Amino acid sequence: MDLFRFFEWLGNTSWSIALHESRYVFLLVLMIHVLTLSVFVGTATMIDLRLLGKTMTRVPVSQVVTRLLPWSEAGFLVMVVTGTLLFYAAPVARYENVFFRLKMAALLIAVINVWVFRRTIYRRVGDWDLDPVPPRRVRMVGALSLILLAIIITAGRMMAYQDYWFG
């Protein structure tokens, strides 16, 4: 079964229709999804700025990562749960939305970026933990992360306008 047919079936399940047609529950989920940006992207941004040597330069990088990343991950979890519900409310419309696809691609690269960072350069964090401005490769990770987060926010906001612009 191809994805389109699957999402078509998913969109016709009673819970999907109920969520799609419920004005208040849908808007509540949307509100939580948008406002959790401040936790997920907010804390991730502060970590990235530390990797770039732009803030908290007297705090060891490892401390910033171990103490703030769990908050970013918690925010991410809320984003994924509410995001899945928003997708479930209109699977075909999301699947066919070009900005949704761009957002998912950027999200995937952002997750890979963090994953690779933790398994490579970050393994030797002891070598540059106290550097006010970390080495070039570390700064590249922070910069890439910030760019991807900006793309995710932009694509997420633009999703609402696809029909208006291209419909």
Footprint on this chain of another protein (rule: CB under 8 A): 27, 30-31, 34-35, 37-39, 41-46, 49, 55-59, 63-64, 67-68, 71, 149-150, 153-154, 157-158, 160-161, 164-165
Cα torsion for 44, 93, 157, 37, to the nearest 10°?
Answer: -30
Strands (E), 44-119: none
Cβ 55 to another protein shortest distance, Å: 5
- Give 9 or 111: the residue with its C-beta nearer to another protein: 111
CB of 96 to another protein, least distance (A): 19
Q: Are 91 and 7 in contact (CB under 8 A)?
A: yes
User: Which residues fall within 8 angstroms of residue 152, CB to CB, at 6 or more apart?
Assistant: 41, 103, 106, 107, 110
The nearer residue to another protein, 11 or 156, going by C-beta atoms, is 156
For another protein, give the closer residue by CB, 63 or 84. Answer: 63
Taking the complex as a whole, how short is the minimal distance between the CB of residue 154 and another protein, in angstroms? 5
How many whole angstroms separate alpha carbon 101 and alpha carbon 98?
Answer: 5
